[in-house]
Every structure is written in C-alpha cells, then in structure tokens.
Amino acid sequence: AARHQMVATRAAVVEAFTSALSGDALSAELLLFSIISRVLTRRGEAPIGKLALNISGCPAALTAGKASPVWSSLLNILRELLPTVYGMPLTLQKLNDSKLIPEKDYEANVLLYGELQLPAGSTLLLDETTLTPGKLTEA
C-alpha cells in the first residue's frame, strides 16, 4: 500500500511539473531529481551530490518586468511540496542594488543579513527571463 502511494505521489508531482513546464517531461523528471538530491560530501568548496538545474528556453512574461509564467507556476508547486522555497526574479537593478550575501559589520560586531542567506536545505528558484542587457556594478 505504501509503495503504491509513493508511486502515485511521484506520478502526480511529475505531472504537475510537466504541466508547468509546457509538457517537457524530461525537465520535469530532472527537476524532481534536483529537489530530492542532497550534498553527500565536499571536495574543497565544491559540493558533491547536489544537482543544480538550469532550465532554459522558458517564455518571458507578456508584461515587461513581470516574472515568467513557468517560473511562477513552478514556484507555487514547489511551495506546496517543500518546507523552504525562495523565489527570486533576477533584474539588473536587483543584482546591482540588493545585498545578496551576508556582510560583517565590524563596528557593531554583527552579521548583516543577505538576501541569499537561507536556511539549510532551502530551494532557490531564480527567474533569469527578467534580466535585461546592462552593466553590473561592483559592490
């Protein structure tokens, strides 16, 4: 009974991903593998075992500055399935103006929050379709 339920749940998740990805069943399977993969060990700084996934060719939103419909659908599904999911539409302004990584304030002796400072095991979903040509500034 438990095995049957697991098979049915897996099929439902892959079907939801496939629908969000406009019928791309292979990308749906790879997305499932990505969210269940975990870091097994590290070689230096490089994590071994975690499958990062970049799905390309997704249509951009019809309205400029809005998130891709594929990204929005996947974000909603992932939030139903996983405990911590963070979605970030990437824009040139966000990359130039936001504090993405934590930074030490030596005067106050505190660590200042960075937007990508996420709990262990979090899933990060980026939307690159919102990027436009321009210049990145160095912080």
pLDDT digits (tens, 9 = 90+) for 62-106: 777 788 999 999 999 999 999 999 999 998 999 999 999 999 999
User: Average of pLDDT values for 14-34?
Assistant: 96
Q: How many beta carbons lie within 10 A of that of residue 20, not counting itself?
A: 23
Strand bridging mode 85-89 / 123-127: parallel
Q: At what angle do helices 25-36 and 2-20 cross, to 10 degrees?
A: 120
pLDDT at 13: 97
pLDDT of 39 higher than 90: no
- For CA atoms 74, 76, 77, 81, give the dihedral sign: positive
pTM: 0.85
SS3 48: strand
C-alpha distances in angstroms, 54 versus 12, 73, 89, 110, 126? 22, 16, 14, 34, 9
User: Average of pLDDT values for 48-70?
Assistant: 86
SS3 2: helix
pLDDT at 124: 94
pLDDT at 139: 60
Distance CA 4, CA 42 (A): 35
pLDDT at 132: 86
User: Average of pLDDT values for 36-63?
Assistant: 87
In the chain, what percentage of residues exceed pLDDT 70?
Answer: 99
Higher pLDDT, 138 or 28: 28
Count helices and strands in the chain by DSSP H and E runs: 4, 6
